[in-house]
Structure 1
């Protein structure tokens, strides 16, 4: 009996293994057939497929998943690379595998120094000299470090299209900026974009020559600077800039007839007189986007009729505070029927604008919401589709605004809640005002309580980033006693921004906060002393940090022999004595 039982057991085990092996063989054959069918496609179709993928998706799908020489060769022979959010380890692997790029045919490079790709620009150009790209025409650099910028400047004159987004947190030395603009504003560029802090004026070189430039985006310019650019770039067709109206000099200006057809002006404090002197020189203009102080509809109509006869697309935001201007002026037939420009008044502020609304950030407070609650109606429900960041300072009184079932803010991904009391009713009303499902970042203050926070996070399944003061986190966790809130923060929050309740104080509850946020990957800190950084750097999953201290210096911290080994094993960028950016291996 026992022998028979053992025999049946062995037979069952054998049949099971046979069935398992059979399934594996079928799966393998099926996979090979699919792969074989894919390989039958011509190269042109593969390049078409590649165009729909980011470089990160492309490398993950073809280089690491499918080990195939043909795919490696196709990827190497691309004429464009865009390394947004590609992991540093993947990039190094591909570079040393020599399956990343073919330098001789590459025409376009996009490189980023973000939290996922720290020091990428420096790494890339240390391994590939700029001289190895004879056909490179387009270069995009996102937040290059100062050393990278200085090293690459001499090559900018060889390009046709250049885009640089500078870090706005800390300014580089003025000599770096002077050399940057001198190197790019006397070249054969066809397109130039330099995105910088709009409040920092640019110093343009005295002698500029841009005979081929067609598209230009710069930061803060005076009217005198704009005049110099008009003279230096006769072929300019698109121009975007921030107008520094406080430093504008309108004396000794010459009138130039430019070839500009599209212009984008950000000038929130500029008057019509200054704007009109610039636009007077753009008589071929077809598209105008502008933010400035308001003027009557009749003045704009007369100017457009006289000097901008080709204008088709007119998008604006006018601030009409302390101006005797009525929305009815912009509802005349010439605006609505002839030009078909629909102008409406913002229900929550003293602003007139054309649809669609051109801002992505909005502040909504209890006073304006309560005063303007009658302005909300179903016909305006799509007005705020462009708003991504909402700063909400509504207390329960202000939620009288939210009585209907219409959701006014559908696409918010960053929400700031101020003066939010411990009440369930406002939370239920909040979901009638905002589509909470898309929110990824939340900023709170110390008035938030744990019960309210739990109700909020139930509506925010994608929340992974949070900001607040130390006392705010103490409040939502009920002095670090609420296990449900703590469990959520540990499991879901990947990015943290934290500061003390008062600028002159230290961050409190450091040990408790380090336990609650033990799984975060990025932290943004505001410290009193530089040495206070150490407890936060011990977080096991931390991969990057941006830290500012009000006292002391990070230079002394880095140069201390006791800390040398730690800083030697990580990548860091010292933007100033008190501003440090870290990428931790």
Structure 2
């Protein structure tokens, strides 16, 4: 007993000494360069390596060594740049760090072609840590070669491919995608022309993909064959599902035992065909989103009730938005009354409708109104516009993410969002001149409750963001896209009272997606986030 007591006392003394030591050391850090290398690697991990290199590589010997001999994961987002610039970047960043690259985003066809050279010259096989690859604007003549080379990547689990061309037939590309051995997430847009070749069903070749996003249009028959390759699929998203070219009744052979989420942007198949599809692949479905349709049978409540009871018994979220043409108002009322049975009430699935034009044979939108699906709310500059959530029926209390397009809509907004934790602001919102940004925003949402702030297209209005951060003191995730600061204003930022306040007491733990920044701009961000840097430092016990 006495020994245990002494042991606890010793632990308490040791713990207090450590805390005291950390406190003394952390208070002694007065310059950014006083931080140890591990902290800079932690910071760099949240930034795109291209801009880190551009800002710090020529600063001094220490930073040159940090960047040239990195042992930490690197994220690269290479958009448009000149050929000469990329050649330098390729030689001094990509080649020396190829074994550390974890995420790679390429959009320039020239760059893609340079990295994915023929096998004997390609370096992609050396990217042994690569987990996420995004390829945009790929020319069709290079698709086959690129997909062949990806097989050699041992850790690739997320792939996004967007073809800039329309291919004659995309079947061979589908088959190549499904041969990638470690892939879990796949999103592709490989549009094909009107020529139709059937995709063969899989016999003994299966993919590890669990989340599939199909952004090109796909025919029902090809979808059935495609799904035979992905038996482990959990989530499926389809941009547009079309009828097959032949008019034969579709017999579905694919069975998906793990599919729980399905989203279809636009359906051009009959409800009879949709029922056949549902009977085979939707048995375990829990979430179903269908956004557009012009077939009146899709708003037949009795058919939906029978289909769900018989073949989609585990469905929890049923979110629809159908555009149909109705002859008169009475027809709409009759359709909507079908959704008032106990079946719909028990599940708390409710629906309403919206007239586009008040005339005979007018288009009507019928959509779900359940509040638990309305987590996102966008305020547009033009009040005549509406969101996909139909803001007039959105349950405000359920909204956790608000996006604001410009300052006028904030001033005109009559709603208050009490449970908002994420805020996205566009540049026109940040440029408020007549009113204080924080004061205006606080009238529609609680700033102190925010945990995530996203800034889109910030052009030299960072002083307003600093003011906002001084009120939104619980922000822990700070995301900035496209920040351009006037160098002449940097001294103003440093000297303003809010800047000093924010840099001392903010709770930012994550800085993400920072593009187009130069050295001075990055320093502004890092100084604001210095508080979180010291927290990381204490946590890792790195101060000596």
Normalising by structure 2, we get a TM-score of: 0.53
Task: Give the structure 1 partner of residue 336 of structure 2.
Answer: 327
Task: Give the structure 2 partner of residue 123 of structure 1.
Answer: 114
Structure 1 residues not aligned, in runs of 5+: 1-31, 390-401, 409-434, 441-461, 465-585
How far did residue 111 of structure 1 move?
A: 1.3
Task: Give the structure 1 partner of residue 166 of structure 2.
Answer: 171
Counterparts in 2 of 1:35 and 1:225: CA distance versus 1, 3 Å: same
Match among 301, 309, 312 for residue 308 of structure 1: 312
Counterparts in 2 of 1:380 and 1:287: CA distance versus 1, 3 Å: closer
The answer to whether the Cα contact below 8 Å between 1:73 and 1:99 also exists between their aligned partners in 2 is: no
Task: Give the structure 2 partner of residue 244 of structure 1.
Answer: 242
Counterparts in 2 of 1:98 and 1:184: CA distance versus 1, 3 Å: closer
The answer to whether the Cα contact below 8 Å between 1:357 and 1:386 also exists between their aligned partners in 2 is: no
Q: How does 1:286-365 map to 2 (within 5 A)?
A: 286-291=286-291, 292=293, 293=295, 294-322=298-326, 324-325=331-332, 326-330=335-339, 334-335=343-344, 338-348=346-356, 349-355=363-369
Counterparts in 2 of 1:199 and 1:122: CA distance versus 1, 3 Å: closer
Greater RCO, 1 or 2 (C-alpha within 8 Å, sep 6+): 2
Alpha-carbon separation, structure 2, partners of 1:145 and 1:386:
37
Alpha-carbon separation, structure 1, partners of 2:162 and 2:198:
17
Counterparts in 2 of 1:51 and 1:137: CA distance versus 1, 3 Å: closer
The answer to whether the Cα contact below 8 Å between 1:76 and 1:101 also exists between their aligned partners in 2 is: no
- Superposed CA deviations along residues 415-464 of structure 1, whole A, max 9, x for unmatched, are xxxxxxxxxxxxxxxxxxxx994699xxxxxxxxxxxxxxxxxxxxx899
| Pairwise CA RMSD | 5.0
Alpha-carbon separation, structure 1, partners of 2:174 and 2:219:
15
Match among 226, 229, 235 for residue 226 of structure 2: 229
Alpha-carbon separation, structure 2, partners of 1:49 and 1:302:
55
Structure 2 residues not aligned, in runs of 5+: 1-28, 357-362, 416-425, 432-456, 460-544
How far did residue 276 of structure 1 move?
A: 1.8
Task: Give the structure 1 partner of residue 437 of structure 2.
Answer: none
The answer to whether the Cα contact below 8 Å between 1:76 and 1:100 also exists between their aligned partners in 2 is: no
Paired residue secondary structure (2:159)? strand
Count of aligned residue pairs for this structure pair = 361
Are positions 1:274 and 2:242 aligned together?
no
- Superposed CA deviations along residues 299-336 of structure 1, whole A, max 9, x for unmatched, are 2233223322222222222123248443344455644x
Counterparts in 2 of 1:201 and 1:274: CA distance versus 1, 3 Å: farther
Paired residue secondary structure (1:278)? helix
Computing the radius of gyration over CA atoms, which structure comes out larger, 1 or 2? 1
Counterparts in 2 of 1:379 and 1:253: CA distance versus 1, 3 Å: closer
Counterparts in 2 of 1:261 and 1:132: CA distance versus 1, 3 Å: same
Match among 86, 94, 101 for residue 89 of structure 2: 94
Normalising by structure 1, we get a TM-score of: 0.50
Alpha-carbon separation, structure 2, partners of 1:274 and 1:83:
42
Counterparts in 2 of 1:128 and 1:56: CA distance versus 1, 3 Å: same
